[in-house]
Amino acid sequence: MKRREFIRKSVGAGFVTGAALSFTGYNKLFGAEFSEKSSAYDLVAVRGGEPEEMFDRAIEAMGGMKTYVKAGQSVLVKPNIGWDVIPERGANTNPGLVKRVVEHCFQAGAREVLVFDHTCDNWRRSYQNSGIEAAVNEAGGRILPGNDQSLYRDVTVPRGKKLKEAMVHELVLDTDVFINIPVLKHHGGAQLTISLKNLMGIIWDRRWWHRNDLQQCIADFGTYRKPDLNIVDAYRVMMQNGPRGVSEDDIVMMKSLIISPDMVAADAAGARLFGSSPEQVGHIRIAHELGVGNMDLESQSIHRIVV
């Protein structure tokens, strides 16, 4: 049996590929009752389309980008651009999704849209080979570096249990709106990397986190600044060997997207999509306990869309 086939047949009962998932099964995946219409959703989950179309449908259901971006505001968009690999490897956020988010920000009246990540691999190669630099430029945004310590400022994390301070990129402090676009994938240290974990890309001194209870530090930092919107790219999902991956054999095509202003809710839904229990992912559970957000999906209004 090929490794990719093994992955598909071996993941937990909570995980199903987009093509195989029935509408009824998708409604039950996150635990809450299906809501056909609502004036305000806590979370929207979409499956079965290309990233751009799924985002169009999701943001429309959330009231449109003007709900989050007002005319004349500056917007920071934070994808995962950590790795010098092509989009098919699933290690970075899908470039088509990033492009569409930037376009929606401008359509809502944004004055400027800025994009960056503190990459793990060489930043120039990661920006280029991920396809994200070209996507941002095509959409009219500006992609900026995160590789220089002089770009970061000291901040305190007053509600942190383990993490009390950090060096945060100046764009996070100087822009009006913060949009977080993680990719859902396996992570060898944090179990999963989704919205909460993606914020490690806006700080400088992240190695300290790995040496001092990574799960607690991820949750602690969530108390500092919550993104205004979280958009989880679950189009290509790396099921093993994360966060960088080894080959395309690590990938399963889920063709899904999750959107919520609540990082913890988005990550709880992402964990279930992956086949994990949110309670068993340390930083999700701890962030819930710290009041960063709500991982109890059963208590929330969730809208599901099948493209």
> What's residue 27's pLDDT?
59
Summarised one tens digit per residue, pLDDT across range 50-97 is: 999 999 999 999 999 999 999 999 999 999 999 999 999 999 999 999
Which pairs count as long-range contacts for 49-54, CB under 8 Å and 24+ apart, including other chains?
Answer: 49/255, 49/307, 50/96, 50/235, 50/255, 51/94, 51/96, 51/97, 51/100, 51/233, 51/235, 51/257, 52/96, 52/97, 52/99, 52/100, 53/307, 54/235, 54/255, 54/256, 54/257, 54/305, 54/307
> To 5 degrees, how large is the angle CA 280–CA 155–CA 168?
70
Query: Is residue 264 within 8 Å of 295, Cβ to Cβ?
Result: yes
> What's residue 158's pLDDT?
87
Summarised one tens digit per residue, pLDDT across range 22-50 is: 444 455 566 554 444 445 799 999 999 99
Summarised one tens digit per residue, pLDDT across range 293-305 is: 999 999 999 999 9
Summarised one tens digit per residue, pLDDT across range 180-208 is: 999 999 999 999 999 999 999 999 998 89
User: How far is the C-alpha of 162 from the C-alpha of 165, rounded, in Å?
Assistant: 9
pLDDT of residue 215 exceeding 90, the answer is: yes
pLDDT of residue 4 exceeding 50, the answer is: no
Summarised one tens digit per residue, pLDDT across range 282-296 is: 999 999 999 999 999
> What's residue 2's pLDDT?
45
Summarised one tens digit per residue, pLDDT across range 118-158 is: 999 999 999 999 999 999 999 999 999 999 999 999 999 98
Query: Is residue 136 within 8 Å of 102, Cβ to Cβ?
Result: yes
Q: Parallel, antiparallel, or unpaired for β 183-187 and 229-238?
A: parallel
> What's residue 31's pLDDT?
59
Query: Is residue 139 within 8 Å of 132, Cβ to Cβ?
Result: no
Domain boundaries, the chain: 3-306
Summarised one tens digit per residue, pLDDT across range 91-127 is: 999 999 999 999 999 999 999 999 999 999 999 999 9
**According to the CATH classification, is domain 3-306 in 3.40.50.11440?**
yes
Question: Using CB atoms within 10 A of its CB, is residue 214 exposed (0-12), middle (13-18) or buried (19+)?
Answer: buried
Q: Which residues contact 224 (CB under 8 A, 6 or more apart)?
A: 155, 157, 160, 166, 168
pLDDT of residue 21 exceeding 60, the answer is: no
Query: Is residue 305 within 8 Å of 58, Cβ to Cβ?
Result: yes
Q: Which residue has the tokens 């651009």?
A: 81
